[in-house]
A = this chain, B = another copy of it.
């Protein structure tokens, strides 16, 4: 592990390393941090959750449309959102960057400043990484580590027929702004895990319909979504004015909402709905078949085909 390497010697590596050593937010989460062959985390006496996601210029974002700080923020946030989906407490991260040759030191620092925002908010220590320059585009591969808070991590595979399905916030149209400014639902996951018995959970990245399909596939059950109950964001309504799609279609399929999507028993869901510290919405229930269906306001049900979800 070399935090900064690369096949050039214009002094930027040394400057970047020194800047990182001085500026990376630290929370005492590592015994050995930046500067050795590997970072060392202390014994944590719980299981470890690990997740990794790469954001690539031209695929997951356009460097010409987002600020570098927003890109760095998002790259860290999408990974932390995966930990929230497991109810893991984020601890540390490593960051691998491929940097276009034209990028200046100040720009790389902006990218890191975006990551630091998430670092500081959730006390996640960046303990190392790898930085290389090349002729290609910017990519950011982040791996984050979390520890177990309560009795167990949430998985996608623990939904049961009869479970109630909930989400933590409005969906759709994240492309307008939320996809680079959302706050991962770490605190909501922690509160839910401390106070309730959540069965299955994930975060909404590919869209409600697809992510719910992942849960029912992993849990070997089915689900019915109540279209009238799905919280549609103002952004979805805004986008629908020009997209030719309905606001509900946006809410069902846009993705990158990064809200928690989870299931729990009917009794637990009733408690949740009257909890003033929680802001969750019931959107459907799990069934004992293997189908994913949506029900409209007239009670008419329609099967959602996996893969498409175009309505």
A contact residues vs B (CB 8 Å cutoff): 1-2, 7, 9, 31-32, 35-54, 56, 58-60, 82-83, 85-86, 88, 92, 94-96, 98, 127-130, 132-137, 139, 141, 143, 145-146, 153, 155-157, 201-203, 205, 218, 307
Chain B, Cβ-Cβ closest to A49: B38
Q: Is the CB of B135 within 8 A of A52?
A: no
Residues of B within 8 A of A41 (CB): 47-48, 50
On whether the beta carbons of A54 and B153 are closer than 8 Å, the reply is no
Q: Which residues on the B side are within 8 Å of A136 (C-beta)? A: 56, 58, 136-137, 139
CB distance from A60 to the nearest CB of B (A): 8
Q: In the bound complex, do residue A52 and residue B82 qualify as a contact, i.e. CB atoms below 8 Å apart?
A: no
CA–CA, A38 and B132, complex, Å: 26
A6–B274 CA distance with the chains assembled, in angstroms: 40
A53 interface neighbour in B40, B92, B96, B134, Cβ under 8 Å: B96
Tell whether, in the assembled complex, residue A132 and residue B51 are in contact, meaning their CB atoms are under 8 Å apart: no
Known: A7-B59, A38-B146, A50-B127. 15 other contacts (CB 8 A): A1-B82, A36-B157, A38-B49, A38-B51, A39-B51, A43-B47, A48-B145, A50-B128, A50-B143, A54-B96, A59-B132, A59-B133, A59-B134, A130-B141, A136-B136
Could you name 23 residue pairs across A and B whose Cβ atoms are closer than 8 Å? Answer: A32-B153, A36-B86, A36-B156, A36-B218, A37-B86, A37-B201, A37-B202, A38-B50, A38-B82, A39-B50, A39-B51, A41-B48, A43-B46, A48-B48, A50-B92, A51-B94, A52-B94, A52-B95, A53-B130, A54-B141, A56-B134, A136-B137, A143-B143
Taking a contact as CB atoms closer than 8 A, the residue among B143, B146, B307 that contacts A9 in the complex is B307
* Copies of the chain in the assembly: 2
Picked from B58, B86, B98, B157, the residue with its CB within 8 Å of the CB of A135 is B58
Q: Chain B's nearest CB lies how many Å from the CB of A208?
A: 15
Bound Cα distance A127, B137 (Å):
27
Is the Cβ of A94 less than 8 Å from the Cβ of B48? no
Whether B130 contacts A38 by the Cβ 8 Å rule is no
Q: A43-B45, A82-B37 are contacts. A50–B94 as well, Cβ < 8 Å?
A: yes
Q: CA separation between A38 and B137, bound complex, in Å?
A: 27
A32–B83 Cα gap in the complex (Å)?
13
Which B residue's beta carbon lies closest to that of A135?
A: B58
Nearest CB in chain B: distance from A307 CB, A: 7
Specify which chain B residues have a CB less than 8 angstroms from the CB of A203 in the assembled complex: 37
**A31 CB contacts on chain B under 8 angstroms:** 47
Closest partner residue, chain B, to A138 (CB atom): B136
